[in-house]
Copies of this chain bind each other. A is one copy, B any other.
Amino acid sequence: MGIDLEELYKDLHAHPELSFQEVRTAGIVAGHLDGLGFQVHRNIGKTGVAGVLRNGEGPVVMLRADMDALPVKEATGLDYASTAMGVDHQGLEVPVMHACGHDVHVTCLIGAVEELVRTQQDWHGTLIAIFQPAEEFGGGADTMVKDGLYDRIPKPEVVLGQHVAPVPAGWFGLRSGVAMASADSLNITLHGRGGHGSRPETTVDPVLMAAAATIRLQGVVAREIAASDSAVVTVGQLHAGTKNNIIPETATLGLSIRSFSEPTREKVLAAVERIVRSEAAASGAAREPDFNYEERFPLTVNDDAAAQRVDAAFREKFGAGQVIDPGPVSGSEDVGMLATAAGAPLVFWFLGGIEPHYAKEFAESGRLPEDVPSNHSPYFAPVIQPTLTLGTEALVTAAREFLA
């Protein structure tokens, strides 16, 4: 029987959809869940899908995948590469790509529920499959919860999920406690005074202001965070101007900020605001910058006891040497919101997705070559196998650890 997971994966990869626009993807997964006998809830949190399969008495276990893609122009050269365009939340037409591997997550979760249905005589309980929108942007998990997710489906007793990572296929990364950083997304508008490009003395140049702020922000991590602590301050967007010979009125900065504790987060945000305000003052800006905080990702914290159960199950299934503690990871996730809202423990792990021939180098050095593309790169291309098979088995293994 069965769904051809490789075909499904290539199809999803070739048809990526931006956050809260995962209509085609949601339709596909809902169709599969329906075909497998799940009770299917559509359009929870705009485009989210929840499937519930009751299989006798027993624990309620949630498996979660995220569905959305990114505004990145794919450059992998794969024959199933995306050429899709989308319209982002600002109304701009942009290229779209599964540059973060959510297509892997969706495919593996479809594979896992199919396998769990196939073997449902071996376990008891309630299986929930969540296909979440907008993990990248917009707070999809939070939106599903606020849209009444737990009014429609049972609250899980454990939430399980995974993310494909730049680690050789065959390895899994799992740890107790803080697993991923908190993330804040901050948009800043710097106000200058526009004018003709030949007469800067009549203006307050916001391009220089933005450049100076960007440069100065490097000092936050370099000088204000202890070597024993960690943070990341990325200026992912800088936009100013419409014409080379016009000095514009404003410039905008888009920051992504990571930290691993609330005091450090507050320290970093305060330093960012201090620096940006000061650079506006250095330029002689008449108006203070605007700071607009967008979505925030909480710390992703794995439950100790539950994580140790999954860890033991993975070691038995895949080999003890294949499960590593990656340390706290600087990426962020909103999967934790599904667990927190249910009062349930979370276990979230990393699934290796890089060509296995890097395994030896990785095992020896703990590193991959610098030119291996990581998530969000236009060259990010997980190897299809054994990634899909192992990702499917991991979800099944973890779910079976909790299902009676």
CB pair B218–A238 under 8 Å, yes or no, is no
Given known pairs A214-B207, A238-B239, A245-B236, the reply for A375 and B225 (CB within 8 Å) is: no
A200 touches B212 (CB 8 A): no
Is the CB of A385 closer than 8 A to any CB of chain B? no
Task: Tell me the smallest distance from the CB of A365 to a CB of chain B, in Å.
Answer: 7
Contacts of A187 in B (CB 8 A): 244
Asked whether, in the complex, the Cβ of A234 is within 8 Å of the Cβ of B282, the reply is no
In the complex, identify which listed stretch (A253-261, A345-353, A386-394) lies at the interface while the others stay far away: A253-261
> How far is A238 from B265 in the complex, measured between Cα atoms in Å?
29
Q: Quick one: CB contact mask for A209-251 with B, threshold 8 Å, 1 for yes? A: 0111011111111111111111111111111111111111101
Which among B227, B233, B247, B367 is the interface contact of A230 at CB below 8 angstroms? B227
The reply to whether B230 and A234 form a contact with Cβ atoms under 8 Å apart is no
For A201, give the chain B residue with the smallest CB separation: B226
Q: Would you call A117 an interface residue if the criterion is a C-beta within 8 Å of the partner chain's C-beta atoms?
A: no
Q: Establish whether residues B244 and A224, one from each chain, have CB atoms under 8 Å apart when the complex forms.
A: no
CA distance A274 to B209 in the complex (A): 14
Query: Does A55 count as interface, using CB distance less than 8 angstroms?
Result: no
- The answer, yes or no, to whether A154 is at the interface (CB within 8 Å) is no
Could you say which of B220, B243, B256 contacts A245, with CB atoms under 8 Å apart?
B256
Number of residues from A at the complex interface, CB < 8 A: 104
A276 to chain B, nearest CB (A): 9
A294 → B minimal CB distance (Å): 7
Q: Which residues of B contact A379 (CB under 8 A)?
A: 194
A22 an interface residue at 8 Å Cβ cutoff? no
Q: Are A243 and B237 in contact (CB under 8 A)?
A: yes
- The reply on A308 being an interface residue by CB < 8 A is no
CB-based nearest B residue for A379: B194
Q: Which of B136, B186, B210, B222 contacts A220 (CB 8 A)?
A: B222
Contact residues in B for A378 (Cβ distance below 8 Å): 194, 249
- Name the CB-closest residue of B to A373: B195
Secondary structure type dominating chain A contacts: mixed
Question: How far does the Cβ of A212 sit from chain B's closest Cβ, in whole Å?
Answer: 6
Which chain B residues border A221 with CB–CB below 8 Å?
A: 221-222
B281–A274 CB distance below 8 A? yes
Residues 272-295 of A at the B interface (beta carbon under 8 Å): 274-275, 277-279, 281-284, 294
- Residues of B within 8 Å of A232, CB to CB, are 197-200, 227
Q: Is the CB of A376 within 8 A of B246?
A: yes
- Complex CA distance for A214 and B327, rounded to whole angstroms: 31
Most buried by B among A216, A221, A227, A326: A227
Task: Give bound CA distance, A249 to B379, whole Å.
Answer: 10
* Given A223-B208, A234-B200, A255 contacting B244 (CB threshold 8 A): yes
Interface residues of A in 84-108 (CB under 8 A from B): 88, 94, 99-100
Q: Is A263 close to B, CB under 8 A? A: yes
A17 to chain B, nearest CB (A): 15
CA distance A198 to B258 in the complex (A): 7
**Separation of A242 and B166 alpha carbons in the complex (Å):** 22
Task: Give, as a whole number of angstroms, the nearest-CB distance from A288 to chain B.
Answer: 13
Interchain residue pairs A-B with the least CB separation, the first 6: A278-B282, A237-B241, A227-B330, A211-B214, A196-B376, A198-B330
On A, residues with C-beta under 8 Å from B are: 70-72, 75, 88, 94, 99-100, 136-137, 166, 181, 183, 185-187, 193-203, 205, 207-208, 210-212, 214-249, 251, 254-256, 258, 260, 263, 271, 274-275, 277-279, 281-284, 294, 326-332, 365, 367, 370, 373-379
